Amino acid sequence: MIVIPAIDLMDGKCVRLIMGKPETKKVYFDDPLIPLERFIQDGAKWIHVIDLDATLNFGENMNIIKQILKKAKEAKVKVQVGGGINSFEKAEELIKYGADRVIFGTALIENPELVKKFSEVFGPEKTAAAIDVKEEKIAVKGWRKELNLPYKDLIPKIKEFNIGALILTLIEKDGTLAGPSINKISKIARLSKVEFIASGGIGSLEDIKRLSKLKLDGVIVGKALYEQIFTLKEAMEAAEEC
């Protein structure tokens, strides 16, 4: 299981939210390239970048994303980018600037043909689905809209989109450091027929070890790294122990 550090962007800065609520924003770095460099030094294989402004329709952070992609490419570190990607042109632009994987969330529900077209052109290895779950339902549009669509109905169909990876976030856990819902993640992972990456609530190295035992493909870690509960290097070592 690989450990993927997260860089969430708002107003050009590196921030963390609690359960996706903008009013809980905490700025950790005015310059997102600083944590990027630290993650690269710690041996990151992938970086998870989300444009929160684009997700929430507040604007976008494309300039800093381009800088992140350039620096990561120089270091031969892969980057997956998501947040408000609702057009083929925007997704294509991210690939042009070096993104290794584009993450589709709301578009998966509201514009599935866009996701299918992107996958046909760039391949499943460049295409990821973000499934954001609140209790038993899927949430979209920056988690502000809950759908009357149980995750258990959508996730088994993800393979039909020719998508290479599924990124699950448990909204009620995200940014809380309260520990992931192991049983829920295990149950959802069994529904997935593609590469499976979990996110939300990681607060200790023990959480990493417990997830690793589920034989997931990856886990995304954010706040625990920024709060210096553990380092990326320590998290990677914990993931390899199991």
pLDDT at 4 over 70: yes
Select from 117, 122, 120, 129 the least CA-distant residue to 99.
122
Range in 32-36, 158-162, 179-183, 229-233 the model is least confident about: 158-162
CA dihedral (96, 195, 192, 141) positive or negative: negative
Catalytic residue (one of 8, 51, 53, 174): 8
pLDDT at 143: 61
As given in the structure block, the two tokens for residue 94 are 């991210």
**What is the distance of C-alpha 120 from the center of its chain?**
22
pLDDT at 145: 58
pLDDT at 52: 96
Distance CA 154, CA 192 (A): 10
pLDDT at 136: 66
Q: What is the mean pLDDT of residues 179-196?
A: 92
pLDDT digits (tens, 9 = 90+) for 45-79: 999 999 999 999 899 999 999 999 999 999 999 99
Which structural domains are found in the chain, ordered by start?
2-241 (3.20.20.70)
Select from 79, 142, 140 the least CA-distant residue to 112.
140
Q: What is the mean pLDDT of residues 10-18?
A: 97
The share of the chain scoring above pLDDT 70, in percent, equals 95
Is the pLDDT higher at 142 or at 74?
74
As given in the structure block, the two tokens for residue 188 are 């959802």
pLDDT at 242: 65
Is residue 8 annotated as part of the catalytic site, yes or no? yes
Is residue 132 annotated as part of the catalytic site, yes or no? yes
CB atoms within 10 A of CB 179: 15
pLDDT at 221 over 80: yes
- pLDDT band, very low/low/confident/very high, at 147 (cuts 50, 70, 90): low
What CA–CA distances, in Å, run from 140 to 57, 66, 108, 166? 12, 25, 10, 15
pTM of the model: 0.95
Catalytic residue (one of 51, 132, 174, 207): 132
Distance CA 207, CA 196 (A): 17
- pLDDT band, very low/low/confident/very high, at 144 (cuts 50, 70, 90): low
pLDDT at 10 over 90: yes
pLDDT at 157: 77
